[in-house]
């Protein structure tokens, strides 16, 4: 078991990463995810640095029903009963035209020498499904998904 948990990202990461540019249109991302059968992709800038992640959940938010925050008129002023910041965020998602408008930009990346044990901890603590792998120049060189992790852990049962 210890041997498996010490494996590094570079040993089993997917090296041919499907990534998108931050200025790509939302419609292209739907098509890409549909045709490739994946659920999320890293977003990179022109230097191949990871600047975000866009997933099927982000795309679904783009089409959900927008509801104005509940409010009451009190002494000539409006008092909101719901969180207006949440409404504004949802409105932003609805109006998104490019990946940059919709992507999650607080991305957790890992280095090529990150161990499987460290990846397990990161994914669990951060509640994330994929980890873009970057080199020392901070360029995208791979990706690790929960499926990759499960494949590695399944090898423990075979040993």
What is the per-residue pLDDT across 119-154, written as a single tens digit (0 to 9) for each?
A: 999 999 999 999 999 999 999 999 999 999 999 888
- Those residues of the chain that have pLDDT short of 50 are 159
pLDDT the model gives residue 119: 96
Cβ-contact 8, 131 below 8 angstroms: no
Q: What is the pTM of this model?
A: 0.78
DSSP code for 103? S
User: Cα–Cα distance between 20 and 58 in angstroms, integer?
Assistant: 14
Q: How far apart are the first and last CA of the chain?
A: 9
Cβ-contact 41, 18 below 8 angstroms: yes
CA distances from 73 to 66, 77, 79 (A): 21, 6, 6
CATH fold label, 2-158: CBS-domain (3.10.580)
DSSP string, 55-71: EHHHHHHTTSPP-PPPE
pLDDT the model gives residue 13: 95
């Amino acid at each position: 078991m210890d041997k498996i948990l010490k494996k590094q990202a570079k040993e089993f990461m997917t090296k041919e990463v499907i990534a998108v540019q931050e200025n790509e249109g939302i419609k292209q991302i739907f098509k890409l995810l549909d045709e490739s059968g994946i659920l999320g992709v890293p977003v990179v800038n022109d230097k191949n640095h990871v600047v975000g992640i866009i997933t099927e959940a982000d795309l679904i938010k783009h089409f959900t029903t927008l509801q104005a925050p509940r409010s009451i008129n009190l002494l000539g002023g409006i008092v909101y009963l719901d969180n207006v910041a949440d409404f504004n965020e949802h409105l932003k998602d609805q109006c998104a035209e490019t990946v940059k408008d919709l992507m999650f930009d607080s991305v957790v990346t890992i280095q090529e020498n990150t161990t499987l044990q460290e990846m397990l901890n990161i994914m669990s603590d951060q509640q994330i499904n994929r980890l873009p792998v970057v080199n020392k120049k901070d360029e995208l060189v791979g990706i690790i998904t929960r499926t990759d992790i499960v494949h590695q852990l399944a090898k423990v049962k075979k040993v």
